[in-house]
């Protein structure tokens, strides 16, 4: 557990450093690329007017806006993220929304108000805990007795060519990132359904359901091949693989990304497949 705790702390440092800065810079494009996923995740959560929603890993608010609209003026969204630079952006974007409260904190240890939320919600924000069962047990304390949970997480890397294809392209020129252990925190740590079920049952949730959903993501947001290359080079594992590399190697890696993404270009779109789980459970 000490090793996974250290990786958890690495995640916090990353999102308060280079990762957070990059995420803010790509916020508008990410909102566009992930808009369909956010909308479906909110739809599946069946958010009702007047409800209180606890959103974990809210980022710059890509799903927060939809949650805010769904709960209405009589509801509230408590939106938590571990990253200070990301939350600065989110607060600036939604300063006029009276039913959103942004909070900086680590959901694994944050002292949530008890029994206030009708829904625990996340879009890709719950896969980064060193001890996920303990983290979910901590979040559970914020939920009302009849509350529910709904979150989106990535399936495996091979089921997400939008991430795998550019990553393999840069590996032609830079060293491969260390292969994470199956239980290590990271984007794909919830890829295996049995592990997700075990974590949630250990945290005293009811038996969860996992719905497999496929998407096609336009990595260019309509802006063509160069826009797609710029985007994937600045987010996720691809950006981590390029961190600290010599400028010449980065230039070669970006050329490889362009070449590899070219077959997926259709006009201004560069469209690749993505696969997620939508996970739901009740108390």
At residue 1, the pLDDT reads 52
The answer to whether the CB of 98 falls within 8 A of the CB of 73 is yes
Question: CA dist 19 to 10, 30, 32, 123, Å?
Answer: 11, 14, 19, 17
| CA dihedral over 137, 274, 37, 101, signed as positive or negative | positive
pTM above 0.85, yes or no: yes
The answer to whether the CB of 49 falls within 8 A of the CB of 71 is yes
Q: 230 in a domain, yes or no?
A: no
Q: 169 in a domain, yes or no?
A: no
Domain span holding position 91? 2-157+179-216+275-282
**Domain of residue 206, CATH code:** 3.40.50.150
> Alpha helix (H) ranges present in 171-221?
193-202
Digit-by-digit pLDDT tens for the chain (283 residues) are: 556 677 788 888 988 988 889 899 999 999 999 999 999 999 999 999 999 999 999 999 999 999 999 999 999 999 999 999 999 999 999 989 999 999 999 999 999 999 999 999 999 999 999 999 999 999 999 999 999 999 999 999 999 999 999 999 999 999 999 988 878 899 999 999 999 999 999 999 999 999 999 999 999 999 999 999 999 999 999 999 999 999 999 999 999 999 999 999 999 999 999 999 999 999 9
The answer to whether the CB of 76 falls within 8 A of the CB of 52 is yes
Q: Where are the beta strands (DSSP E) in 9-130?
A: 52-56, 76-81, 100-104, 117-123
Neighbours of 187 (CB within 10 A): 17
Neighbours of 240 (CB within 10 A): 15
Q: 246 in a domain, yes or no?
A: no
Q: How distant is the alpha carbon of residue 23 from its chain centre?
A: 11
Distance from C-alpha of 253 to C-alpha of 173, rounded to nearest angstrom: 6
Q: 212 in a domain, yes or no?
A: yes
At residue 5, the pLDDT reads 73
Domain count of the chain?
1
Q: 229 in a domain, yes or no?
A: no
At residue 2, the pLDDT reads 59
3-state secondary structure of 120: strand
Q: Is 222 left (phi over 0), alpha (psi -120 to 50) or beta?
A: left
Q: CB neighbours of 262 closer than 8 A, spacing ≥ 6?
A: 225
C-alpha closest to that of 39 among 71, 68, 63? 63
Q: 252 in a domain, yes or no?
A: no
Q: 152 in a domain, yes or no?
A: yes
Distance from C-alpha of 169 to C-alpha of 228, rounded to nearest angstrom: 14
Q: 195 in a domain, yes or no?
A: yes
Angle of helix 2-15 relative to helix 18-25, nearest 10 degrees, comes to: 40
DSSP state of 178: P
């Amino acid at each position: 557990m000490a090793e996974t705790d250290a990786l958890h702390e690495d995640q916090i440092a990353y999102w308060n450093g280079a990762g957070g800065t990059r995420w803010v810079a790509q916020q508008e494009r990410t909102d566009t690329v992930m808009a369909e996923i956010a909308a479906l995740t909110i739809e599946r959560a069946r958010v009702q007017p007047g409800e209180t929603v606890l959103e974990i890993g809210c980022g710059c608010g890509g799903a927060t806006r939809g949650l805010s609209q769904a709960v209405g003026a009589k509801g509230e969204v408590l939106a938590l993220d571990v990253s200070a630079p990301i939350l600065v952006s989110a607060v600036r974007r939604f300063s006029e929304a009276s039913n959103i409260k942004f909070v900086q904190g680590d959901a694994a240890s944050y002292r949530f108000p008890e029994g206030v939320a009708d829904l625990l919600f996340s879009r890709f924000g719950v896969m980064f805990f060193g001890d996920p069962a303990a983290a979910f047990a901590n979040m559970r304390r914020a939920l009302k007795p009849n509350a529910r949970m709904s979150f989106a997480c990535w399936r495996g890397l091979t089921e997400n060519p939008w991430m795998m294809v550019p990553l393999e392209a840069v590996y032609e020129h830079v060293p491969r990132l260390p292969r994470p252990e199956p239980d290590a925190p990271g984007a794909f740590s919830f890829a295996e359904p049995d592990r997700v079920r075990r974590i949630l049952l250990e945290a005293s949730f009811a038996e969860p359901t996992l719905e497999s959903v496929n998407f096609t993501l336009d990595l260019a947001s309509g802006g063509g091949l160069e826009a797609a290359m710029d985007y994937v080079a600045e987010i996720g594992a691809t950006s981590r693989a390029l961190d600290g590399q010599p400028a010449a190697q980065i230039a070669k890696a970006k050329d490889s990304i362009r070449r590899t993404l070219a077959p997926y270009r259709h006009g201004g779109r560069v469209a690749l497949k993505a696969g997620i789980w939508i996970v739901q459970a009740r108390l």
